[in-house]
Structure 1
Amino acid sequence: MSDRRGGGQRGDLKQRVKTARGRTVSSKRWLERQLNDPYVAKAKREGYRSRAAYKLLEIDERFHLLKPGQRVVDLGAAPGGWSQVAAARVGSQPGAEAGRRGRVVGIDLLEIEPMPGVDFVTLDFLDPSAPGLLTGMLGGPADVVMSDMAANATGHKKTDHLRIMGLAETAAAFAREILAPGGVYLAKVLQGGTESGLLADLKRDFAAVRHVKPAASRADSSELYVLATGYRGAAEGGDPEDEAPPEAGWTP
């Protein structure tokens, strides 16, 4: 992003995008937001593939989800920002200490540019072969299953909410198939009225469940993350009232 300090203009002025032929108002608004987003600029400076990396970094700093030696699955991994963070935190990158080296596998319908310390698979995670394939690549059950997936936005809030909740619920079912006891599930959701149903469902199988909203999530966004820790196994169930207490600054 260019520095516009000359000509009597302040360097912190927001960049404006002219409406070009064929560009919709919504795409113009999105581009302006990207150009003026400090996390987008920071990601470019620090070598992350997406601004979403800072959401995972912040959540992990708070809750210590990622540890050296863990096995991690990143659902809907493209373009790879979350996988980058996971690889660094679990020590799957080349040169990591042998006894504490983790594994990270990312899966997406889109092809992803290779990344040191991460194995990417171009496949729908709903494919029947996916659970066995991923656990085989990891060398065992996953310690963390995470998803920053979102369906393409329609602009209709209720529809977008229901679509992303459907993704999160399906990803949660997948996580139950491959998580080790004590494992973690983290996924993006949107506020909109049905997110409490997913929490109630997860409480049956996890020791603690909560919503979190990192600072890197845009303030005007209804985006949240559901965090479920201490996987007990689907057969054991649990008391749906055993929800973790809210974290100050981390719940809507």
Structure 2
Amino acid sequence: MAKDKGGSRSTRGGGVGGRREAVRVKTARGRTVSSARWLERQLNDPYVHEAKRLGFRSRAAFKLREIDDQFRFLRPGIAVVDLGCAPGGWCQVAVQRVRPLETGGTIVGIDVTEVEPIAGTTILHQDFMADDAPERLKAALGGQADVVLSDMAAPATGHPQTDHLRIMALAETAHAFAREVLKPDGVFVAKVLRGGTERALLEQLKRDFKVVKHVKPPSSRADSAEMFVVATGFRGGN
């Protein structure tokens, strides 16, 4: 989910900061206390301001940038699949670093929410959990992938155990797809929740990949339960 309106690839490294005067939002007719708090957080979030400045469609783009700055798996000319790509921020980051229009690399995204086109990216408007979605992705990919990304998350219910089960089900499905399409030494990145990956999935990842780590990038809000599992060195599925 990443978009770049002409930004250069010299985006590795470097944090987002700078002091700004805090903006306070009052409740008003038609605006609840929770919506006022959300708006206030958005207005005071440096990543939101930086995303707008750089042309990214969402602050989530910085999460992938920071993960890739650490693990360096997005390289010019590779093939990348982005599961749950709306609104397009991670795809934008992939475009910046893979440079598909120059190198012949491939970037394919899918989301149940419609995503505005991104140059150099093929985007499928479909639920990844649909029965025919994996085959459509494989057809668009036209071969094996070097990297499979998943920032998928089910709508929050407010019940931590239920939310955890839902997001882990998405991560498990994403992993199953990654096993089918990844090249040897490929990389899998997926969103999980605080507490890390469920033991069964973690054990499978450790069998399938040489190195498995959990990371929480700096741009992931401190009060958010999200984390990411990064699995590198795919051993090859069978």
Q: Does 1:191 align with 2:194?
A: yes
Residues 13-162 of structure 1: pairs in structure 2 closer than 5 A: 13-93=21-101, 96=102, 100-162=103-165
CA displacement, residues 119-174 of structure 1 (integer Å, 9 cap, x when unaligned): 11011222333223222222211111101111112222222222212211111112
Is 1:87–1:103's contact at 8 Å kept on the other side of the alignment? no
Look up the SS of the partner of 1:210 in the other structure: strand
CA distance in structure 1 between the aligned counterparts of 2:159 and 2:64, rounded to whole angstroms: 27
Q: What is the CA distance between 1:193 and its match in structure 2?
A: 6.8
The 3 A distance-change label for structure 1 pair 38 and 193 is closer
Which residue in 2 is equivalent to 1:174?
Answer: 177
Q: What is the CA distance between 1:18 and its match in structure 2?
A: 2.0
The aligned amino acid for 2:49 is A
Query: For structure 2, which runs of at least 5 residues remain unmatched after alignment?
Result: 1-18
Query: For structure 1, which runs of at least 5 residues remain unmatched after alignment?
Result: 1-10, 236-252
What is the Cα-based RMSD across aligned positions, in Å?
1.8
Higher relative contact order (CA 8 A, sep 6+): 2
Is 2:188–2:232's contact at 8 Å kept on the other side of the alignment? yes
Look up the SS of the partner of 2:49 in the other structure: helix
Q: What is the CA distance between 1:196 and its match in structure 2?
A: 4.0
Pair member with larger Rg? 1
Residues 232-243 of structure 1: pairs in structure 2 closer than 5 A: 232-235=235-238
Q: What is the CA distance between 1:192 and its match in structure 2?
A: 4.1
CA distance in structure 2 between the aligned counterparts of 1:194 and 1:132, rounded to whole angstroms: 26
CA distance in structure 2 between the aligned counterparts of 1:197 and 1:37, rounded to whole angstroms: 36
TM-score (norm 2): 0.86
The aligned amino acid for 1:226 is V
Is 1:92–1:104's contact at 8 Å kept on the other side of the alignment? yes
Q: What is the CA distance between 1:22 and its match in structure 2?
A: 4.2
CA distance in structure 1 between the aligned counterparts of 2:66 and 2:104, rounded to whole angstroms: 22
CA distance in structure 2 between the aligned counterparts of 1:193 and 1:219, rounded to whole angstroms: 15
Identity %: 64
The 3 A distance-change label for structure 1 pair 117 and 232 is same
